[in-house]
Amino acid sequence: MNKVRFGMVGGSADAFIGNIHRIAATMDGELELVCGAFSRDYEKSQLLAKQIGLAADRVYPSFQALFEGERKLPADQRMEFVSIVTPNALHYPVALAAIEYGFHVFCEKPATSAFTWHSV
């Protein structure tokens, strides 16, 4: 059985909840983290990727770069959905961008608020 490939936006090494989400997502062996933009600080993202064994070419400096880069990969290699683990206020722009690039979104907290409503 093939694992479902996912990417993560947010959840850097110094963000407690990011590690919890990575562990929970992969506990049953059916999901595989394949890419990420874990921090606005690209060096932090690269450091985390190295710590968790993620390929360096699948670490991106921003969520926009992640969506652009992943969309260019063959369908059988790119992420299939993105998990958003940023502070609440950033969920909406990340989720909207993911949808615009054609990616499914997993966001366990609010994807938006009444002040940022946007019809898709």
The DSSP code for 108 is S
pLDDT cut 90: percent of the chain above it:
68
Q: What are the distances in angstroms from CA 75 to CA 4, 25, 70, 80, 86?
A: 12, 21, 9, 8, 26
Q: Which domains does the chain have, with CATH numbers?
A: 4-116 (3.40.50.720)
Tens of pLDDT, residues 52-103: 999 999 999 999 999 999 999 999 999 999 999 988 888 889 999 999 999 9
